[in-house]
Amino acid sequence: MKQFCMWFAVLAIFLLIFAFWNPGGAVGDPITAVGAVKFNKGTVAPDFFIENLAGDRVKLEDFRGKVVLLDF
């Protein structure tokens, strides 16, 4: 039983090291890593249309000067 616990502990340590090991170093910028577009501060967002929950068409421009949270 004691030997089983020792092997289990060694396996657990190995799995933890393997899970957090990153041979290539840091991933870099996570925004560009997923293919998203990154805008600099002060850049105007492109205008787009979307339907709200009531089915009305809403433009991003309608919210100019306000904080907008997009949740997909």
pLDDT tens sequence for the chain (72 residues) = 778 888 889 988 888 887 777 666 556 667 666 777 777 888 888 888 889 899 999 998 888 888 888 777
Instruction: Please indicate, yes or no, if residue 37 is contained in any of the structural domains.
Output: yes
Give CA–CA dist 10/15, Å, rounded.
9
Q: Are 22 and 33 in contact (CB under 8 A)?
A: no
Instruction: Please indicate, yes or no, if residue 72 is contained in any of the structural domains.
Output: no
Split into its structural domains, the chain has a count of: 1
Range of the domain at 14: 2-63
Instruction: Please indicate, yes or no, if residue 15 is contained in any of the structural domains.
Output: yes
Instruction: Please indicate, yes or no, if residue 44 is contained in any of the structural domains.
Output: yes
Per the confidence metrics, is the pTM higher than 0.75?
A: no
Give CA–CA dist 48/33, Å, rounded.
24
Instruction: Please indicate, yes or no, if residue 69 is contained in any of the structural domains.
Output: no
Q: Degrees (nearest 5) of the Cα angle 19, 24, 25? A: 85
Instruction: Please indicate, yes or no, if residue 68 is contained in any of the structural domains.
Output: no
